[in-house]
Amino acid sequence: MSEKVVYYTDRANAIVSWQVRGNMTVEDAIQASTSIKEEVERFPEKEVSLLVDNRYMVQNGRPIVFSADVTKVWNELQIYLIPKVSKVAVLCSSMMMKMQMDRVAKESGLISSLKSFYNNDLDVSAKEAYAFLGTTHNKLIDEKFPVS
């Protein structure tokens, strides 16, 4: 697994989560996509939710977004996930990323299940995502990752 992507599955709440730490290459995205598919397949269809944490996609202290090639990999993953997931919450590092995530979800058709969250206060966006998913916590998200 890529060090840029950290995974956690909350089996009790049927939530697969991952956190992107920094800028991703196409290879990172392909590797992450494979890992995510494998984990989602462990659940019956439409009984799993996803929690994606992109808040730490920061380079030189500034929020970044996915490159076009990485976005293509995420789009393909989202198309694959449509029949398999009930809800997808995406925590974003900037308003620009939130707009990118919403656009990709519209293009893939996942928009009816996906909601993106952005707030300057990371705890606020996490709480909003938890409410959307019907949970109060997540081990991976609650663990603060230092931003460089």
CATH code for position 112: 3.30.750.24
| Predicted model pTM | 0.92
Task: Give 67: exposed, middle or buried? Use CB within 10 Å, 0-12, 13-18, 19+.
Answer: middle
pLDDT at 61: 83
Amino acid at the residue 53: D
Question: Could you tell me if residue 138 is inside a domain?
Answer: yes
Question: Could you tell me if residue 28 is inside a domain?
Answer: yes
Question: Could you tell me if residue 148 is inside a domain?
Answer: no
Question: Could you tell me if residue 147 is inside a domain?
Answer: no
pLDDT at 1: 42
Its domain, for residue 63, covers: 5-142
- C-alpha 121/C-alpha 136 separation (Å) is 17
pLDDT at 3: 81
Task: Give 8: exposed, middle or buried? Use CB within 10 Å, 0-12, 13-18, 19+.
Answer: middle
Per-residue tens of pLDDT for the chain, all 148 residues: 448 899 999 999 999 999 999 889 999 999 999 999 999 999 988 899 999 999 998 888 888 889 999 999 999 999 999 999 999 999 999 999 999 999 999 999 999 999 999 999 999 999 999 999 999 999 999 987 665 4
Question: Could you tell me if residue 14 is inside a domain?
Answer: yes
Question: Could you tell me if residue 58 is inside a domain?
Answer: yes
Dig out the tokens for 27 from the structure: 């290879």
Indicate the number of domains in the chain: 1
Question: Could you tell me if residue 40 is inside a domain?
Answer: yes
DSSP 108-142: HTGGGTEEEE--SSHHHHHHHHHHHHT-S--HHHH
Question: Could you tell me if residue 129 is inside a domain?
Answer: yes
Q: Which residues of 73-83 are buried (b: 16+ CB within 10 A; e: fewer)?
A: bbbebbebbee
